[in-house]
Amino acid sequence: MKKALKDLGEDALIDRLVRLVPRDPDPVTGPGDDCAVIDTGNTRALQLLKTDAMVEHVHFLPDTPPRKIGWKAAARVLSDFAAMGGTPDRFLVTIALPPSWPVARIEGIYRGFGECLARHGGFLAGGETTRVPAGSAAVISIAATGTVVPSHITLRSGGRPGDLVLVTGRLGGSIRGKHLTFTPRLEEAAWLVRHLKPTAMMDLSDGVAKDLPRLAKASGLGFQLDREAVPRTRGCTVEQALGDGEDFELLFTLPPRKWNTRTIAAWNEAFPKLPLTVIGKLSEGAEERLEGGWDHFAK
């Protein structure tokens, strides 16, 4: 039988696909990071590009409140700008909807989208409107540009052996509500790139179980995870904290000397309500295997 997407998995699929198309011969970062990064020749800013799709029944349900759908669609993109150490700029929104949808539903989605941009930055620049066949799932896809100060840019690939692995917030159980209402960690990431200069950073969308191995691999390293140290949402097991996904917290790495009583106190003063937790370290060679995490094309 022919090999199907579900036999391959998401990461292997993307690896195969990107080989089929001409790419930037000298990229700041490849396909592979949270955003694409373009050097436009402006010495004060690099350009960030991101596109991100949400599908009914996959990322939200027919009875999800429309404003929350819109908030989530915008916040997912903002979270990826945060993960690069950057800020959002212009947004393009593509909607593909069944003709039977109530007008009020898509207006509600746009209101939620607008609330998120008004709160966190970014402007609507345009989009595209099309339909899906009657009875099919709705799709909302957002593309956006952003910028990052060259000295602030933080890739997945910058981790070094011995770096501590840290995470903001608490993980797991996002399906109970946080996946729709989360705060993209733009302020926290801006603080981190100014004060601690993480060596590598990404946002957590597929769960630490999938995303930590991605960060380590991008850095050409393995990792050790202290499972008991992983900060859990109330009522969640370690497995849920590692595997549920859609936490939209920051996962980043720091040389150990940068994590001391002074820097811990500075973080706690800047963000008193948001825990910052060391959950492991990067190491040469031997990579732990982690079970779980989200893969759209897992068996």
Binding interface with ligand TPS (CB under 6 A):
57-59, 61, 175, 179, 205-206, 245-246, 294
Q: Which residues ranging from 69 to 108 are in contact with ligand ATP (CB under 6 A)?
A: 80
Is 259 annotated in some ligand binding site?
no
206 is in an annotated binding site: yes
164 vs 293, beta carbon nearer ligand TPS = 293
> Which helix (DSSP H) or strand (DSSP E) does residue 94 occupy?
strand 87-97
Q: How far is the CB of 72 from ligand TPS (least distance, A)?
A: 8
Query: Least distance (Å) from ligand TPS to the CB of residue 52?
Result: 7
66 or 243: CB nearest Mg ion: 243
3-state secondary structure (DSSP) of residue 252: strand
Task: Candidates 29, 33, 34, 198: give the one binding Mg ion (CB under 5 A).
Answer: 34
DSSP state of 203: E
Annotation-wise, does 33 bind a ligand?
A: no
Measured CA to CA in angstroms, residue 145 lies from 7, 78, 79, 80, 168 at distances of: 33, 10, 13, 11, 25
Helix axis angle, 261-270 to 186-195, nearest 10° = 150
- The answer to whether the beta carbons of residues 184 and 250 sit under 8 Å apart is no
295 is in an annotated binding site: no
Choose among ligand ATP, ligand TPS, Mg ion, none what residue 14 binds, the Cβ cut-off being 5 to 8 Å by kind. ligand ATP
φ and ψ at 10, to 5 degrees?
A: -65, -50
Answer yes or no: is 269 a known binding residue: no
d(CA 277, CA 42): 36
Q: Give residues in contact with ligand ATP (CB under 6 A).
A: 14, 17-18, 31-34, 36, 52, 80, 205
